[in-house]
Structure 1
Amino acid sequence: MGTWHHWTYDKYYNNCQTVAKAFIELGLEPQHGVCLLGYNSPEWLMSHMAAMMAGGQSVGIYLTSNPDVCQFIAGDCQANIIVVENDYQIHKILTCRHNLPHLKVIINCSADGTKSEQNVMDWKAVMQLGARQSSEKLYERMKLNKPNTCCSVIYTSGTTGTPKGVMISHDNVTWMCNRVIQYTKASMGAEHFVSYLPLSHIASQLIDIYVPLSSAGTVWFAQPDAMKGSLIQTMKEVRPTIFLGVPRVWEKIAEGMQLVANSLTGLKARISSWAKTVGLKGNHNKMAGKGTPFGWGVANYLYFKRIKTALGLDRCHFPMTGAAPISEETLSYFLSVNIVLHEMYGMTETTGPTTISVERAMRYRAAGKEPSGVKLRINNPDVSGQGEVLIFGRHVFMGYLRNPEKTASEFTEDGWLKSGDLGFIDADRYLFITGRLKELIITAGGENIPPVPIENAVKEQLHIVSNAMVVGDQMKYLSCLLTLKTVTDDKSGLPTDQLSESAIVECRLAGSSATTVTEIVQDRGDANVLKLIKKGIDEANKKAIAKPHKIVKWVILEKDFSIAGGELTPTLKLKRPVVMKKHKELIESLY
């Protein structure tokens, strides 16, 4: 894995001050942006903290953003400084620099960074510049930072359109950081975190920057290819104590574990199956306030501890999942191996998690209880108690940058934030999220159908399926676009035609010899795989609450969804409008 390089907190703090002094000298004005375009690194954290120290606003840009998006964000936040990771990222900024009147300098963190361009500096030169400055100007800037001033602007990932700049205040951050430490029971000087999810996301900033800073924790930076396969090796080396994974990460981990389990034979296979049964029952018992079943201690010794060690989670006391809905299948699988995933619910506009399920307040499929200091209510609930979740508390954002009209539309007349999420609160004040308003499919018959539960039901039945997207807005019935699990090209990040190892196993079990998607979808299709998928769809339809919620037609797409392909956000959420546009003719053919 290479050699680890270490920073003490003392060095970290001094470096942040040095960078902040350089930013001021380079022309950073109060409440102007410092854009950060690079993979997770110490330089990212130092630039982030330095921007706030100098009275500016830290603004992350997702690595996958194209030049147009980079230009929009840098222009919208009136960025004076843009910090980039390498030459590849700097070219995005150079192509639009002439349209950024507030931009004064670009900083290239790469050691072999571009030298010939005007107003481009490397990281070493920035540190040298900052070291030559006195601290007087910096201390004056730091006095400008008040609880109610904006310290960071986080742009939404744009699943439904143009990104919006969410203004986060110093008070938002400090209040929420304190809550997360209480939720996770983080111990001072004892916690270890793996930084791998995009730092442009509020959840990553909380877990990778603010919580470690407040608890004197150790942050370990994963390799840039973490999401492509190296993450597990990093986790084994680091052995994090608090770990956040988006649902797709947990799905990938579970997929790898299931492949290993399927290869077991004899006594090992019987022990694995028995232990998982004990694990699932035991954890459901715990949530219900009951004791563990017979054999729990033996299963823990023979199986659970070994699984956690193999994943690098043997000392992880708080594994979390968030940023998107997780399937019941994935949640149950980890319960069966005694890894209890703490679901958290929140949004960028709430500075991260509004609720987190914790051991003292955990219920299966719930996102946690209404916490102290936060108020929740359901707007216009239907007969089942479901409606839009409304939120009130100190963690609610300041508003959208330079967009007062949009800000006003996000709040009720009495000041509650409209989440856009559908859910209900049970008698014990547990919050359950059931869908998203903007994703609701309204059929020609007037039925309001949340697609995510249906899509999860399909994926639970069909382990060969990577993504399922239900369509049918204003149509007589529902259809479903399916993608199969395939190998990803390491260089481009695009899915290939080659089926993944787990997908090939499913094909063999179905009696198919296919190794590529093309073999399955060409001509009239692979009869055995098509039969497998039809059976899975039929089983998923049995869970439908009414006939309009059943899938009538389905089709297998030639390519899986990906970040590089534009169908997924950097946090692996589905961009439904992009998929709809890309496959418009195919969708129309289903009707």
Structure 2
Amino acid sequence: MHIQEFKTLRGLFTYSIDKYKNNKAFAYVGGDIYTYSQFGEKTEFIANLLSTAGIASGDKVAIFSQNMPNWPAAYFAATAFGKVAVPILPDFSEFEVKNVIEHSEAKALVVSKRLLYKVPETLLQTFNIVIEADSLNIIFQKKDISPAEIKFASEEELASIIYTSGTTGTSKGVMLSHRNLCTHLYAAFKLRPTFEWDVWLSVLPLSHTLESSLSMMLPIMGGASVNFMEKAPTPSMLLKALAEVRPTTMLIVPMIIEKIYRSSVLAKFNASKVTRYLYSTVIGRKALNLIAGKKLMKTFGGRLRFFGIGGAKLDGVVEQFLMEAKFPYAIGYGLTETSPLLAGAVGKMVKWQSTGPAVHGVTLRIDNPNPETGEGEVVAKGPNVMMGYYKNPEATEQAFTKDGFFRTKDLGIIDENGWLFIRGRLSNMILGSSGENIYPEEIETIINGHPMVAESIVTQYKGKLVALVHFNPEKIKALQEAKEEALNAYYEKKEQFMHSFETKKDLLKQTYEEKKEEAIHVYEEKKDEVVKAFNEKIEQLKKEVSEYVNSRVNKFSKISVVEDKPEQFEKTATQKIKRYLYTAKK
């Protein structure tokens, strides 16, 4: 199969709008549709607005918008016309947005109506031009600006600066060249070819390199169509979109499929004694998983052929379900700094808990391997590896080995066939009291397998392992409702009693106050008993979780303390927990 190669994103743009001009390109689910020809027209329209406003070759164009058909048009209006795209994650705070814009020195902004409130009025006045992403109307434009000549970029020139939203809390501007993105596109297409009849449903933010590279550039290369959701992908909205679009392709992060498995699949298997028993046997589990897989396939529209999972490590139990369900999942591994794919596995290439072999053009190596386990830091070299961090030469230097390999800061091993297995983040690894390497991600996977747990973090405090646990809100809700019901009944009874007591006040006379206080004390004790019963149940759950995980890990990885976290953990764009917000306190 011949694979088209591109030197620059302009080459990709002109090739696609010509070859696939009548194909459906981008659309809202159930809404407006752009053909590739119309996509080209919208892109050129924005490019002309930018040039008229004096945005010259190499100038930065910030894109701050949720996914929509005009997002790719804004991106290619910059990258295919000599400018530099600076995508900003929609969930960035006003402070983070301001920092990205100022650090990148963006001269133009394409912003959606929904996110405009996060850009201060004073900051808007600093741009040459501000364009509303929804309508492409001009919100603000400086006067007396001379138009800039359009000059197309070469393959070695900067195409995009992507500011990471990492789990460590430090956001750096990753510089990706046209060569980085185009060679990555070739490798991705080689791993997973795209055809004109493919239909994407995009649910991850395009401002993240995972989605922009694999759910925007890849379908453009094959003339496929991409559908965006106007509203947030809540379970109900997602189900409607899946039924309408019936996608052949989707990209998701592990947390989404893990939630589907635990809340829908596993919950149903545990609903009756019969299925619970069957699921505890190997033969029964495989049979039930296969049945569930067929139902899941139907839920996703019935014609899914590629269900890409990346952005974080997939839970082993959930992956076992996907394998036994014969669900068409694929695994990818990479980072923003590598455009992003470094390794990937599709179809029969997939191995349990492996991210697959290195993709075309990439060399992977394990540095400083443990002589006993073979585990060490994964380092990579290839044409898709970033130019460096924008205006941060020190961080750039630290990101590479002396012989030019990029340091992923991930720990892993490579088997004899070249398949990569990720163990965890180097920065997350905990050193045990006897020098053992403890990977919190592996313990968290086990904790999250408990039916009452939604998510967790394992950290170290004073030499002991502590599990911060967010219990399943739906299941905790039942306990809370029982507590509230008991308290409401208590207050109602107390009110009735006090009313009755007041009516007998004259009869009781001298003993009134004494008996009133005695009665109130009895009722207060009952209220305290209700609250105490709820707290005891939470404590019992914490004990159960501790016993559950400690019976499944080695002696070095046993949890000493389980702490309840009532609120969900704060997450990055790819739904990874921002660990630094919680581990720093320990």
For Structure 1 versus Structure 2, the TM-score category normalised by the shorter chain is 0.7 to 0.9
Of 300, 307, 313, which residue of structure 2 is paired with 1:319?
Answer: 307
Q: Distance in 1 between matches of 2:297 and 2:535?
A: 38
Alignment of 1:92 onto 2:118:
yes
Deviations 1:558-586 (A, max 9, x none): 2222xxxxx211221111111245xx3xx
In the TM superposition, what whole-angstrom CA distance separates every residue of 1:513-558 from its partner, at most 9, and x where no partner exists?
5689x9999657543453344233223123323x231101111122
1:91-110 alignment runs, 5 A limit: 91-95=117-121, 97=123, 103-110=127-134
Is 1:573 the equivalent of 2:580? no
For 2:306 and 2:453, the matched residues in 1 are separated by: 29
Contact 2:454 2:472 in 1 (8 A): yes
For 1:7-46, list aligned pairs within 5 A. 7-46=34-73
Give the aligned partner of residue 388 of structure 2.
399
1:449 positional shift? 2.0
Cα 1:22–1:481 shift into 2, 3 Å: same
Closer, same or farther: CA 112–430 of 1 in aligned 2, 3 Å = closer
After superposition, the Cα gap between the structure-2 partners of 1:470 and 1:10, relative to the gap in structure 1 and judged at 3 Å, is same
Contact 1:279 1:338 in 2 (8 A): no
Pick closer, same or farther for the CA change 1:185–1:274 going to 2, 3 Å. farther
Equivalent residue for 2:168? 160
- The answer to whether structure 1 residue 176 and structure 2 residue 176 are counterparts is no
Say which SS state the counterpart of residue 119 (structure 2) adopts: helix
Cross-structure match for 2:141: 119
**Does the C-alpha gap of structure 1 residues 568 and 307 become closer, same or farther in structure 2, counting only changes over 3 Å?**
closer
Counterparts of 1:214 and 1:442, CA distance in 2: 46
Q: Secondary structure at the match of 2:346?
A: coil
CA contact (8 A) 1:435 1:452 kept: yes
Scaled by the length of structure 2, what TM-score is found? Answer: 0.80
Question: Aligned residue for 1:542?
Answer: 551
TM-aligned CA deviation for residue 229 of structure 1? 4.1
Q: Aligned equivalents of 1:82 and 1:137: distance in 2?
A: 19
Task: Decide whether aligned partners of structure 1 residues 238 and 113 sit closer, same or farther in structure 2, where only a CA change above 3 A counts.
Answer: same
Identity of aligned residues (%): 26
Letter in 2 for 1:338: K
| CA 1:147–1:227: 2 relative to 1, 3 Å | farther
5+ residue gaps, structure 2, are 1-27, 488-527
Q: How does 1:373-392 map to 2 (within 5 A)?
A: 373-382=361-370, 383-392=372-381
CA-atom RMSD in angstroms = 3.4
Q: Secondary structure, in 3 states, of the residue corresponding to 1:91?
A: helix
Aligned residues of 2:156 and 2:177 also touching (Cα < 8 A): yes
Aligned counterpart in structure 2 of residue 453 of structure 1, from 442, 445, 451: 442
Q: Provide the rounded CA distance (Å) in 1 between the counterparts of 2:530 and 2:578.
A: 24
1:18 Cα deviation from its structure 2 partner: 1.5
Output the CA distance in 1 between the equivalents of 2:401 and 2:266: 49
Q: Does 1:338 align with 2:326?
A: yes
> Does the C-alpha gap of structure 1 residues 370 and 529 become closer, same or farther in structure 2, counting only changes over 3 Å?
same
Q: Does residue 236 of structure 2 align to residue 236 of structure 1?
A: no
What residue number does 2:22 align with? none
Question: Number of aligned pairs?
Answer: 515
Structure 1, unaligned stretches of length 5 or more?
A: 122-132, 282-294, 487-499, 562-566
Which one has a bigger Cα radius of gyration?
2
**CA offset at residue 181 of structure 1?**
1.8
Question: Once the 2 structures are TM-superposed, how far is the Cα of residue 279 of structure 1 from its aligned partner?
Answer: 9.3
Q: How many Å separate the matches in 1 of 2:77 and 2:55? A: 11
Corresponding position of 1:437: 426
How far apart in 1 are the matches of 2:29 and 2:382? 44
Alignment of 1:456-467 (within 5 A): 456-460=445-449, 462-467=450-455
Aligned twin of 1:423: 412
The amino acid that maps onto 1:362 is V
3-state SS of 1:7 partner: strand
Task: Give the AA of the match of 2:155.
Answer: P
What is the distance in 1 between the residues matched to 2:551 and 2:279? Answer: 28
Q: Deviations over 1:230-268 (max 9, x none)?
A: 1222122111112111011112222342277359779xx
Greater relative CO (CA pairs within 8 A, separation 6+): 2
Q: Report if the CA contact (8 A) 1:67-1:96 is conserved.
A: no
Q: C-alpha separation between the residues in 2 aligned to 1:280 and 1:217?
A: 37
Bigger shift: 444-453 or 171-180? 444-453
TM superposition score normalised by structure 1 = 0.79
1:55 to 59, 66, 82: 82
Displacement after TM superposition at 1:377 (Å): 0.8
Alignment pair present for 1:253 and 2:260: yes
CA distance in structure 2 between the partners assigned to 1:522 and 1:177 by the alignment: 58
Cα drift, residue 6 of structure 1: 1.2
Q: Secondary structure at the match of 1:230?
A: helix
Which amino acid letter does the alignment assign opposite residue 109 of structure 1? A
SS at match of 1:325: coil
Q: Which residue of 1 aligns with 2:470?
A: 483
Q: CA deviation at 1:182?
A: 2.0
* Conserved? CA contact 2:183–2:384, under 8 Å: yes
Q: CA deviation at 1:96?
A: 5.2
Question: Which range moves more in the overlay, 572-581 or 18-27?
Answer: 572-581
Q: Distance in 2 between matches of 1:271 and 1:463?
A: 13
Q: Secondary structure at the match of 2:105?
A: coil
Contact 2:50 2:129 in 1 (8 A): no
1:313-334 Cα distance to aligned partner (Å, 9 max, x none): x211111111011211221232
* Aligned match for 1:6, one of 21, 33, 58: 33
Q: Which residue of 2 aligns with 1:564?
A: none
